[in-house]
Amino acid sequence: MTLPGDKSISHRAILFAALADGESVIDNVLVSGVTEAMLRALTALGVPWQLDGTRLTVQGGGLHGLQSPSAPIDCGNSATTIRLLAGVLAGAGVTAVLDGSPGLRRRPMRRVVAPLQQMGVALTAVDGCAPLTLAVGKRPLQALTYTLPVASAQVKSCLLLAALAAAGPTTLTEPGPSRDHTERMLRQMGVQVEEGAGQEAAQERWVRLYPPETALRPLQITIPGDMSSAAFLLVAALLTPGSLVTLAGVGLNPTRTGLLDALRSMGADIAISNEQEMAGEPMGDITLRAGELHGTEIGGDLVVRMIDEFPAFAVAAALAEGQTTVRDALELRHKESDRITMLCQELQAVGADVTETADGFVIYGKPLLTGGTINPHRDHRLAMSLAVAGLRSVNGITVQGAEIINESFPSFAQNLSELGAAISV
């Protein structure tokens, strides 16, 4: 099976194409709720684009080609859209208001507002949350040397994008290896971006961006399949006796493959083949065979390498033999829902043995779950992981408000059903 394009890479390709000089062609772009929010933003900023199936063409007008929008930009439920846009608009010197759904308005924005203000950006939030208001401030922006308090690709990307318009090189240090799609894509477009291991702690990383002296090259890329969508199908296959599934052309960027390491540490039989590189991103086929899983321990830098995969992972753990412990995962509380409390609550509701901790959870696996009806709390990944849990439940699982799945993986139910799952919408 092949999967829709990676959400993180799609977001970046759409937005960065708008900053390039000329026409970009992006194949296998993810068409879903959150990427539609980014496309709406391009329209609001006066950037022409055209979507033909999953081929997106964008007419980029260069780093200074964005128009100030006449109304607030609606970023929907997409934190990537609002945080990356804040960086781009800060760099472009565009006046704008960035807003979104009630869920998005609850997400923390101080983490981008404070360092952008340090760069001289005239930006305000409301109690550290959206709406964000950008006014025209001093130009050019000040170069920044900054240590991120938590590993976050959205914060890092926001600041790197603003740094395109800074007076000198910007250096960011992160406590762990967050996804590096921005760095890879900007390099493809001709921007000098360096990186290396930090000195203070084993997992620390630094990245330095030099403001470009020439226009950004347009993109001609095919986006690999989304590892974070693959996660649900991989866990479904692992938990269904007799399954043998190959997911072809999935992104295998090492900052995104933590789930594969976690599942292997539980005894999963996973093989990678056809490895290749596509526009600076590694990709390949993942073949997985169902089998017995045992409990494991997750913590440290593995957490950031599988930050979006904990809902799927927890379902695997709930059906494994023995105890699984997750720690160092406080960031999960700041996702589309509080993914520690809500995940534990909803897994308990279908019969799993889960205990919430301050920065993670402890799960005792069972052979089968009871099942029931669950509330995904408008969190697409909770909805999909609990649907997958239904495959190993006595009574089946009904996910209310399942339309939230369209935010990241509209073909989820269809793909799962093509693999043989009994799922209806």
- Could you give the CA distance from residue 76 to residue 335 in angstroms, rounded to a whole number? 14
Q: How far is the CB of 11 from ligand S3P (least distance, A)?
A: 6
- Could you give the CA distance from residue 119 to residue 169 in angstroms, rounded to a whole number? 12
Which of 98/397 has CB closer to ligand S3P? Answer: 98
Q: Which stretch in 123-131, 151-159, 183-191, 290-298 sits in contact with ligand S3P by CB under 6 A?
A: 151-159
| Position of minimal CB gap to ligand S3P | 8
Binds ligand S3P by CB under 6 A, chosen from 85, 179, 237, 344: 179
SS (H, E, C) the chain: CECCECHHHHHHHHHHHHHCEEEEEEECCCCCHHHHHHHHHHHHCCCCEEEECCEEEEEEECCCCCCCCCCCEECCCCHHHHHHHHHHHHHHCCCEEEECCHHHHCCCCHHHHHHHHHCCCEEEEECCEEEEEEECCCCCECCCEEECCCCCHHHHHHHHHHHCCECCCEEEEECCCCCCHHHHHHHHCCCEEEEEECCCCCCCEEEEEECCCCCCCCCEEECCECHHHHHHHHHHHHHCCCCEEEEEEEECCCCCCHHHHHHHHCCCEEEEEEEEEECCEEEEEEEEECCCCECCEECCCHHHHCCCCHHHHHHHHHCCECEEEECCCHHHHHCCCCCCHHHHHHHHHCCCEEEEECCEEEEECCCCECCEEECCCCCHHHHHHHHHHHHHECCCEEECCHHHHHHCCCCHHHHHHHCCCCCCC
Residues 298-357 binding ligand S3P (CB under 6 A) are 307-308, 331
String marking each residue 383-412 x if it binds ligand S3P according to CB under 6 A: ------------------------------
- Tell me, yes or no, if 338 is annotated catalytic: no
Which of 24/81 has CB closer to ligand S3P? Answer: 81
Q: Which stretch in 57-65, 150-158, 200-208, 320-328 sits in contact with ligand S3P by CB under 6 A?
A: 150-158
Which of 161/319 has CB closer to ligand S3P? Answer: 161
Q: Which two tokens stand for residue 71?
A: 């109304």
Q: By CB under 6 A, how many residues form the interface with ligand S3P?
A: 12
Which of 266/307 has CB closer to ligand S3P? Answer: 307
**8 binds ligand S3P per the rule CB under 6 A:** yes
String marking each residue 86-115 x if it binds ligand S3P according to CB under 6 A: ------------------------------
Q: Which stretch in 120-128, 147-155, 197-205, 265-273 sits in contact with ligand S3P by CB under 6 A?
A: 147-155
- Could you give the CA distance from residue 236 to residue 218 in angstroms, rounded to a whole number? 38
Binds ligand S3P by CB under 6 A, chosen from 157, 188, 253, 296: 157
Q: Which stretch in 153-161, 313-321, 338-346, 417-425 sits in contact with ligand S3P by CB under 6 A?
A: 153-161
Q: How far is the CB of 111 from ligand S3P (least distance, A)?
A: 8
- Could you give the CA distance from residue 423 to residue 425 in angstroms, rounded to a whole number? 7
Q: Which stretch in 127-135, 149-157, 186-194, 206-214 sits in contact with ligand S3P by CB under 6 A?
A: 149-157
Which of 329/369 has CB closer to ligand S3P? Answer: 329
Rounded to 5°, the CA angle 264-183-131 comes to: 100
**184 binds ligand S3P per the rule CB under 6 A:** no
**153 binds ligand S3P per the rule CB under 6 A:** yes
Rg (CA), the chain: 21
Q: How far is the CB of 392 from ligand S3P (least distance, A)?
A: 26
Which of 17/397 has CB closer to ligand S3P? Answer: 17
Catalytic, out of 6, 285, 308, 379: 308
Q: How far is the CB of 371 from ligand S3P (least distance, A)?
A: 28
Binds ligand S3P by CB under 6 A, chosen from 28, 152, 229, 253: 152
Which of 35/243 has CB closer to ligand S3P? Answer: 35
Closest to 71 in 3D by CA, of 102, 35, 98: 98
What is the layout of strands, in order, in the sheet containing 205-210? 145-147, 170-174, 205-210, 192-197
Q: How far is the CB of 49 from ligand S3P (least distance, A)?
A: 19
Which of 99/309 has CB closer to ligand S3P? Answer: 309
Catalytic residue ranges: 308
Residues engaged in binding ligand S3P (CB under 6 A): 8, 11, 80, 152-154, 157, 178-179, 307-308, 331
